[in-house]
Amino acid sequence: MIDGLPASRTVGHGYTYAYLDEQTKRMIRRAVLKAVAVPGYQVPFASREMPMPYGWGTGGIQLTASLIGPSDVLKVIDQGADDTTNAVSIRQFFARTAHVQTTTRTAESTLIQTRHRIPEQPLRAGQIIVYQVPIPEPLRWLEPRETESRRLHALQDYGGMYVKLYEDIARYGRIATAYDYPVLVNGRYLMSPSPIPKFDNPKLDRMPALQLFGAGREKRIYAVPPHTRVESLAFDDHPFQVQKWDQTCVLCGAGDSYLDEVITDDAGGRWFVCSDTDHCTRRRDGGADGGDRRP
């Protein structure tokens, strides 16, 4: 049935700056403005098909693409690290399409795209951090229907979430949510902070930098403007707690950073290292030593 295939056609034409066409960027910026105006509210946006798969950061990439400019310095992290494969891929994408300077140094960056972590080094005013979000709806596990959860948000009916947390305490004696821990933004909207460990939740609160969240597949953008109150849900008699390790980083000796566990042999041996590679590198550059016992 196929006839008249053209003998050749140019498909390698040049793309717009930062890949997205200008109309799309404008559409995304409008969604961002609305999101900033209503902190924590999920703004639907006409998410585009990106040249990376859904679920691999397409929401964050669209936000970054619509915000980035030639004077920006971009940092991309995944699991806190600049050198994980998907972070490398996204950084290369913007280096290629936006000709932008990239960095691994948190302090030097103007725009940070992240998956699953907030850098250990506090962000400052003027910086923007873009989170990649798989499931933007914090109520999804209680109510899978969007039609229903949007109504719950409208009515600020978050009782179900408190019941869930209470049931955890009744069953386990503690709240059994370790990451993507729900937060209340500006005293109004319940929000998923994306799957960051709850260790990072306190950093969300009153952060001087602008925090933007992009969910490409689910077609939602939301935001926490600078200095906005972000509370992790808790009870008076069960206050919010973060993870803590008995160990320190074997590379830099940090005892206050989020640690990744590395299995070193088949006899139960394991080390702990900073998940934030920039934090770890800076400490080691400053002479810190974790007593590296690696063979």
Partner 1 sequence: MYVAVKGGERAIGNAHRLYAEARRGDPAVPELTLEQIGQQLSHAVDRVMTEGGLYDPFLAALAIKQARGDLVEAIFLLRAYRTTLPRFGAARPLETDAMAVSRRISATFKDLPGGQMLGPTADYSHRLLDFALAETGLPPEPVPPVAGVSESSCPRVTGLLAATGLVEAPPPDSDEADTTDLTRTPLALPAGRALRLQALARGDEGFLLALGYSTQRGFGTTHPFAAEIRMGSVEIELEAEELGFPVVIGEIAVTECQMINQFQGTADQPPQFTSGYGLAFGEAERKAMAMALVDRALRWRELSGGDDARTPAAPAEDEEFVLAHADAVEASGFVQHLKLPHYVDFQAELELLRRLRADAGAVGCADGRAAGAEAPESVP
CA distance 97 to 225: 28
CA distance 260 to 72: 30
Residues 45-64 that bind partner 1 (CB under 8 A): 45-51, 53-56, 58
Q: Which of 4, 280, 287, 291 is catalytic?
A: 280
Residue with tokens 């306190």: 202
Question: Is there binding between residue 170 and partner 1 (CB under 8 A)?
Answer: no
Binder among 158, 213, 222, 271 for partner 1 (CB under 8 A): 271
Cβ 246 to partner 1 shortest distance, Å: 6
Amino acid type, 238: H
Based on the residue annotation, tell me whether 274 is a catalytic residue of this protein: yes
Asked if 97 contacts 19 with a C-beta cutoff of 8 angstroms, the reply is yes
If the CB atoms of residues 80 and 138 are measured against partner 1, the closer one turns out to be 80
If the CB atoms of residues 124 and 292 are measured against partner 1, the closer one turns out to be 292
x/- string (CB under 8 A) for partner 1, residues 121-160? -------------x----------xxx-------------
Based on the residue annotation, tell me whether 280 is a catalytic residue of this protein: yes
Closest CA to 44 of 195, 204, 128, 153: 153
Q: Is 274 helix (H, G, I), strand (E, B) or coil?
A: strand
Binder among 90, 112, 113, 117 for partner 1 (CB under 8 A): 117
CA distance 13 to 7: 17
Cβ 62 to partner 1 shortest distance, Å: 11
Amino acid type, 220: R
Residues 212-251 that bind partner 1 (CB under 8 A): 217, 219, 241-247
Residue with tokens 């703004």: 43
Based on the residue annotation, tell me whether 214 is a catalytic residue of this protein: no
x/- string (CB under 8 A) for partner 1, residues 65-104? -------------xxxx-xxxxxxx--x------------
DSSP state of 39: T
Helices marked H in the chain:
22-37, 58-67, 85-97, 146-154, 159-172, 201-204, 277-285
If the CB atoms of residues 105 and 179 are measured against partner 1, the closer one turns out to be 179
The catalytic residues are: 40, 249, 252, 274, 280
